[in-house]
Amino acid sequence: MAAAKTGLTGLASWKALKSNFEKIKDAHLRELFASDPNRGSRMVIDAEGVYFDYSKHRVNDETLKLLVKLAEESGLKAKIDVMFRGDRINTTENRSVLHIALRTPKGKSIMVDGVDVVVPVHAVLDKMAVFADKVRKGLWKGYTGKTIRNIVNIGIGGSDLGPVMAYEALKSYTMRGLTFRFVSNVDDTDFAEATQDLNAEDTLFIVSSKTFTTLETMTNARTARAWVLKSLKDQAAVAKHFVAVSTNTAEVSKFGIDTANMFEFWDWVGGRYSMTSAIGLSNMIAFGPDNFRAMLDGFHRMDEHFRTTPFEKNIPVLMGLLGIWYINFFNAETNAVLPYEQYLKRFPAYLQQMTMESNGKQVTMEGARVDYQTGSIYWGEPGTNGQHSFYQLIHQGTKLIPCDFIAFAKSLNPTGNHHDILLANVFAQAEALAFGKTAGEVKADGAPDNLVSHKTFEGNKPSTMILMDKLTPNALGMLIAMYEHCVFTQAAVWDINAFDQWGVQLGKVLAEKIVPELEAKEEPVLKHDSSTNALIKRYRKLK
Ligand code: F6P
């Protein structure tokens, strides 16, 4: 593979950041705060209802200026404009990248190949709304005339993670009389557990797949069809109990789903950026068309903030640049996402696909091997649970882990003083990580000499605090778009394609070859490596 022409590492801003890093790498946040009493109110962006506090990062004004210069020298502004106007920036798949069109208000237009894509976007949204209302009002009947009460989304990756996350995030806005389940894994347990207490008569399956060929989804969809037919015993039942969300009309029809009950989207919507397309159908049924549209408005608000705000005040741009600062200069490998909001329990899992399938790339747009690190590993759990689990390592371990804290000023279930305790904890964690506790302070507390080092907190652990008013559909949309554009910013600087995913292919192809070897009646001739051959043989013996 050709080596990168070091476009990035040759930039003046990159070199200047290297020198800045040498100066600042040992500076402690304690000193940075002591030398600037206004740091905590100065290094903040207060925009669109988001209070974005980046003061607890290991940066000085010079670092921030240089990071912004890095974005400029990387052509970020032009790259944003090119995405928003629909150019085919996903070059390896020759596709436009227009998830932003999915939340563009009616009346505006985005032209792709002479077609205004905003028009079909709203046509599909309207069709989804009619269908969602029918189900919510009990007007969609199953084959035997029973009202549909259970909705099962079958999909994987982007056709699952967004809908599950948003369903959990906005649960308090959902129609509680309906049951929602999500089946993604090809592991038969997933389907079995999701349906074990359901009846086919009042269950609707939404088969969500951009391609309608994904092995896991189609295996689960066929199992669902057999499950329905086993109890309803008539092929005609499929039309009443299955709808599809896809770009592939031919395959939907081949499966036996009436294409009148297909909700379309387009090849310019990447799987992991698709939750604002018809892939969100289960969400629209769950929390209603109005809340779904409010969520889209939140996305659009953040899209516009990203597109129009100068980089120094641009939340996703700064988020992305700070990530680059730690990954490429401090050699940090991971980024923790810590929502202090129980409803966001699936948010880190959702972000994992968005961030890692996007930016887990080793070659530049031109196909040359990068000579710098790319995509960070995203992980996390809701607070305060994480505090009693892995926070020990963040506080006192040997690794540097930048943290994103996410919190809301208002609870959706106010009970006693739970919320004050919750918020006290998130503020305390950020404070403890940044400032730590010195050996002197530990001694002054009366710790015996042999425990002083154990009880010392070095501090200087960076974090961002994202504080919003309340977890509403609008706020959720803004939060997700913030991360989408953070990913875009990083990809623009790293000069990688955030919108393809060739890395998932090889395993898929090999699995397809192995399936018949596991199922063959006769002992197959195995031509894998000795480990894979032995595993296949052992499985055949055990199964
Ligand atoms: O993991 C690979 C991938 O292509 C994802 O990008 C996508 O979200 C997922 O598979 C599901 O694909 P589909 O919606 O076509 O079933």
Determine the residue of 93, 97, 159, 220 to mutate for testing ligand 1's pocket, defined as the one with the most ligand atoms within 8 A of the Cβ atom. Answer: 159
d(CA 11, CA 222): 53
The two tokens of residue 294 are 């409010």
| Of the candidates 68, 40, 35, 69, the residue with the CA atom closest to the CA atom of residue 54 | 40
For 301, residues 6+ apart whose C-beta sits below 8 A from its C-beta are: 48, 474, 477, 478, 481
Q: Is 320 helix (H, G, I), strand (E, B) or coil?
A: helix
Grade residue 113 by pLDDT with cuts at 50, 70 and 90: confident
- Would you state the structure tokens that stand for residue 507, as one six-digit string? 């395993």
Angle at 277 (CA atoms; ends 274, 280), nearest 5 degrees: 90
Atom of ligand 1 nearest to the CA of 274: 8
Q: Which of 168, 341, 357, 381 is catalytic?
A: 357
- State what percent of residues in the chain have pLDDT above 70: 99
- Tokens at residue 300, please? 């659009």
- How many angstroms separate the CA atoms of 26 and 161, rounded? 39
Q: What are phi and psi of 26, to 5 degrees?
A: -100, 0
Which pLDDT does position 6 carry in this prediction? 61
313 is catalytic: no
Q: Give the pLDDT score at 3.
A: 46
**What is the spatial distance between Cα 155 and Cα 161, in angstroms, rounded to a whole number?**
9
Question: Which atom of ligand 1 lies closest to the CA of 158?
Answer: 8
357 is catalytic: yes
Task: Assess whether the previous peptide bond of 384 is cis (omega < 30° from 0).
Answer: yes
Q: Dig out the tokens for 116 from the structure.
A: 């205004």
* pTM listed for this prediction: 0.97
Question: Tokens 């894998």, residue?
Answer: 528
Residues with CB under 6 A from ligand 1: 156-159, 209-211, 214, 217, 271-272, 357, 501, 504
Mean pLDDT in residue range 137-156:
98
Tell me the one-letter amino acid at 101: A
| Maximal CA-CA distance, the chain | 78
If we measure between CA atoms, which residue out of 104, 168, 94, 488 comes closest to residue 344? 168
233 is catalytic: no
Q: What is the DSSP string of 375-389?
A: -PEEE---TTGGGGT
Residue 159 alpha carbon, nearest atom of ligand 1: 14
Distance CA 490, CA 482 (A): 13
pLDDT tens string 36-78: 999 999 999 999 999 999 999 999 999 999 999 999 999 999 9
Using one digit for the tens of pLDDT, what is the confidence trace for 489-531?
Answer: 999 999 999 999 999 999 999 999 999 999 999 999 999 999 9
| Residue of 210, 264, 275 with the most ligand 1 atoms within 8 Å of its CB, for mutation | 210
435-473 pLDDT, tens digit per residue, is: 999 999 999 999 999 999 999 999 999 999 999 999 999
Question: What's the mean pLDDT when you consider all of the chain?
Answer: 97
- The single-letter code of the amino acid at 9 is T
| pLDDT number for residue 79 | 98
- Residues of the chain above pLDDT 90, percent: 98
Q: List for the chain the helix, strand, coil content (%; round to 5).
A: 55, 10, 35
User: With contact defined as beta carbons under 8 Å apart, do 343 and 476 qualify?
Assistant: no
pLDDT of 169 over the 90 cut: yes
CA–CA gap between residue 274 and residue 211 (Å, rounded): 13
